[in-house]
């Protein structure tokens, strides 16, 4: 997987109100969101956001309602203009781009999957899926063939002639994903894309996204308020609160090492045995001596506990692609299942 930075956000601020630049000086001097609203009648949407999103990975931005996550994702294609900062795509600051380059960005480089599906009711499923190519002037026969290919890929083969109202919610969201894939954009923005779906359908959609990502290696920015969903999907997790980044990094590391009491509370009710992976707590290096069996580095701890049948004296060889890369003993699992107290230092910057 590439480690190139695809999207980089640098010192991004967004303040809503009549005089955002004037309010920005107060924020940079240390004023928080409640004080800015009470004293100056301005809303602090984003506060000094710094995030790198790597090519071919899923970056999940999560937080509770009002944390700034949807505001942030709309800066990536300049649906919202920042008060200050930079948004770099492939190293170029898109805030310097004119309208023509922005249209090209939205048509060709970035696609968006919305929470409310955003399908045109008077267009067929095929026409909705091929919309991005149609706006580029691609002939109908070509964009319909491409749309049919991706509709089939997301499980909607044969539905191209139907209309959105004839499909269930989960099927409509599959059309939204097919539309994003038909555009052949390198970056997919997904704003609460699965939150309106029933739990079982939501799980199916998460599995579909991971299956497609394993094949296509898109750069995906996914917004959610659901921690379980975030931990399942994220290569890089960014947690917001009141418009600033509380902590970011590899989800397993955040779960094991919360940097703030807010994160500590956030992860308190997570089933750690089901979420934590062997690779996060194993001892690196091929083990010497006898072992009780072999496990994969991406196995969760719940499966390892089952393998050990509750015995605390078990020791396993850890494999990655069939090669021994470490070992794991049961006491290490027991320690990992106990939530750690935060250091009390936030990871805002």
pLDDT, position 342: 61
* Superfamily of segment(s) 272-336: CBS-domain (3.10.580.10)
| pTM as predicted | 0.86
Which residues, in sequence order, are bridge partners of residue 222? 60, 190
pLDDT, position 1: 42
Could you report the average pLDDT of every consecutive run of 10 residues in the chain (349 residues)?
83 96 95 93 96 96 90 94 96 95 91 82 94 89 93 91 91 90 92 84 89 93 91 94 94 90 87 91 89 93 92 93 94 89 52
- Within 8 A by CB and 6+ apart from 177, the residues are 113, 154, 193, 205, 208, 209, 212
Is 62 strand, coil or helix?
strand
pLDDT, position 202: 86
Contact 259, 253 (CB under 8 A): no
The span from the CA of 64 to the CA of 239, in Å, is: 9
Sign of CA dihedral 34, 38, 44, 45: positive
Plot region of 78 (φ>0 → left; ψ -120 to 50 → alpha; else → beta): left
Burial (Cβ within 10 Å: 0-12, 13-18, ≥19) of residue 121: exposed
- The domain limits of the chain are 56-82+97-249, 272-336
**Strands of 293-296's sheet in order across:** 283-284, 323-329, 315-320, 293-296
The span from the CA of 88 to the CA of 109, in Å, is: 13
Residue owning tokens 């990094």: 249
Secondary element (H or E) of residue 69: helix 69-73
Residue owning tokens 């999207």: 7
pLDDT, position 348: 46
Beta strands (DSSP E) in the chain are 5-16, 43-54, 58-62, 84-89, 92-93, 110-113, 187-191, 219-224, 236-241, 244-249, 283-284, 293-296, 315-320, 323-329
Which residues, in sequence order, are bridge partners of residue 59? 221, 236
The span from the CA of 32 to the CA of 201, in Å, is: 39
DSSP 158: T
* Superfamily of segment(s) 56-82+97-249: P-loop containing nucleotide triphosphate hydrolases (3.40.50.300)
Report the chain's terminal Cα–Cα distance, integer Å.
25
């Amino acid at each position: 997987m590439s480690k190139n930075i695809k999207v980089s956000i640098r010192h991004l601020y967004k303040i809503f109100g009549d005089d955002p630049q004037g309010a920005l000086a107060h924020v940079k001097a240390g004023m928080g969101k409640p004080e800015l609203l009470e004293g100056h009648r301005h809303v602090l949407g984003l506060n000094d956001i710094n995030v790198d999103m790597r090519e071919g990975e899923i970056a999940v931005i999560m937080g509770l309602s009002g944390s700034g996550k949807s505001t942030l994702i709309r800066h990536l294609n300049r649906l919202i203009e920042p008060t200050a900062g930079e948004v770099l795509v492939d190293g170029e600051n898109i805030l310097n781009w004119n309208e023509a380059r922005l249209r090209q960005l939205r048509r060709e480089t970035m696609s968006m999957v919305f929470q409310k599906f955003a399908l045109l009711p008077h267009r067929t499923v095929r026409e909705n899926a091929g919309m991005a190519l149609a706006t580029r002037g691609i002939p109908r026969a070509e964009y319909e063939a491409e749309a049919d290919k991706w509709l089939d890929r997301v499980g909607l083969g044969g539905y191209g002639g139907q209309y959105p109202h004839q499909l269930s919610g989960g099927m409509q969201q599959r059309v939204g994903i097919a539309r994003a894939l038909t555009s052949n954009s390198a970056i997919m923005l997904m704003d609460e894309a699965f939150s309106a779906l029933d739990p079982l359908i939501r799980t199916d959609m998460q599995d579909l996204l991971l299956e497609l990502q394993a094949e296509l290696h898109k750069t995906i920015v996914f917004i959610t308020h659901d921690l379980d969903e975030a931990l399942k999907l994220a290569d890089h997790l960014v947690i917001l609160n009141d418009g600033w980044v509380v902590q970011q990094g590899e989800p397993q590391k955040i779960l094991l090492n919360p940097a703030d009491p807010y994160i500590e509370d956030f992860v308190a009710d997570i089933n750690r045995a089901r979420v934590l992976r062997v690779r996060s707590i194993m001892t690196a290096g091929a083990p010497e001596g006898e072992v009780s069996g072999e496990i994969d580095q991406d196995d969760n701890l719940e499966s390892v506990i089952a393998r050990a049948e509750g015995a605390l004296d078990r020791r396993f060889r850890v494999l990655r692609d069939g090669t021994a890369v470490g070992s794991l003993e049961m006491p290490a699992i027991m320690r990992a299942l106990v939530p750690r107290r935060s250091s009390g230092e936030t990871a805002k910057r």
